[in-house]
A and B are shown apart, each in its own frame.
Chain A
């Protein structure tokens, strides 16, 4: 990597649910309308990350508190979407982020069910897969991503991943000392099932409460085993065919 690995630290404890990140992302990246629907469950009107929702603010109403969290592509260390992409449209940038090249993607849709976080999706009218680019163009221009820039509370922090991880660990320590014992980091562990994420979070409840998988795995971790099982089945098929032809010719 020519450059340092860059990422996001989203500290949900200071998120106020203003959705400035969603708006800034849409404006800068020219992301089309994703439907303005009142879902009648919460203040959430985008629902989930998708082809045209690259930042998604989740609202969880609980007794005595209101959890808000701006979700985004995790820019995984071991990214399933990138591994399974057959065209090479998905690639790893010099900032160690994961980006789709729109001029290469042929809309095969394989990345969509491969992502363990349900991030990337295909735009049906356009036929291609889309997701957060971590503002690749802005990064190359030496600027921070639009969402981080727009966030008024610094809930979304952008920077070199090492620095962010250090800062996040200190923040959790302080919160614990202040009595907020539920505070925990999500995605900051380089030994987890995806090798840690480039965009990680400080949460106040279990990940699944925010719609995040509690223990995600990059599916290609098991790919060697899958090929072995398929190889076994291919051999069994060969043996089966041979057996069917073993009888004497009439």
Chain B
């Protein structure tokens, strides 16, 4: 008889409390959170490319990468602070350092990365403190690698089924997308003679992003469903088309400014769709109790209940 409640959620062999969610949805807002995820990735990969350009002596590409990395980190920080319920308490983020909190690790990473990219960009613009600027540019390569990947842990380290279970592929999805985004931005802002690595990054990142996303949706089974259905599904499909199309175009655009611009825009739009899509899929998976209850119930029925950490 209690099964009657399940009529609210058709085709579901599970029980719930009037079809209500078990966990809370992520409360992060649009466009703040997806914009931050995009900008953080863009800035991180741009930092890595600035370091590589410095080490291989591509000065024009490095300049563009320095500026992109700094702009991405600063704009991202604005979105992040605006997202807080108490923005004036932003500095409380740096009150402690907690390895168990990806948001704490991320806040410190962002602080370090914005500092480094700020010095690198400031020195490039003013021509002052060149050695410090160059050193910061190389160092922002390392902070950039952390920037482009920690956000995947940020999402996975929640009870949200489609995020938590996606812990393996999400970092590759985000870092691939970050590489594509930075490639797209840099091939638009670097003279053609030095833009080769940017085009390669755009194309390689696009492929990595699409492959990681596809693998994730396939491996996750039931909790991969929110990535394929509804608004999240539409966003993820749009992202795939835009990213692959843009990546392909980057390799054949050649001398054409118009085609290069089209490619860059498509990749950027694709990267944004990915972030909005992942946020939306997380919300959908939290809202429908099926994604929380069914895997847990299956685990219990199979005689493999979860166990506590360290046991």
Contact = CB atoms under 8 A, between A and B. Distances in A.
Given A208-B15, A242-B52, A104 B92 contact: yes
Given A115-B23, A238-B145, A250-B196, 13 more contacts: A50-B24, A78-B308, A84-B101, A86-B103, A106-B90, A106-B93, A109-B83, A118-B21, A118-B24, A219-B159, A222-B164, A229-B168, A245-B197
B307 to A, nearest CB: 6
Interface stretch (A56-64, A154-162, A167-175): A56-64
B171 to A, nearest CB: 3
B157 A226 contact: yes
Contacts of B96: 86-88
A249 B308 contact: no
A11 interface: no
Contact of A86 (B101, B141, B150, B297): B101
B22 to A, nearest CB: 5
Interface string B147-182: 011101110111110001001101110110011000
A230 B102 CA distance: 11
Contacts of A89: 92
A219 B98 contact: no
A145 B71 CA distance: 51
Contacts of B282: 113
Nearest to B52: A245
B257 interface: no
A37 interface: no
Contacts of A113: 23-27, 158-160, 282, 286
Interface string A193-219: 111100000000110111111111111
Given A225-B167, A229-B171, A236-B175, A86 B22 contact: no
Contacts of B100: 83-84, 220, 223
A108 B158 contact: no
Interface string B267-311: 000000000000000100010010011001101100001111101
Nearest to A50: B24
B164 A118 contact: no
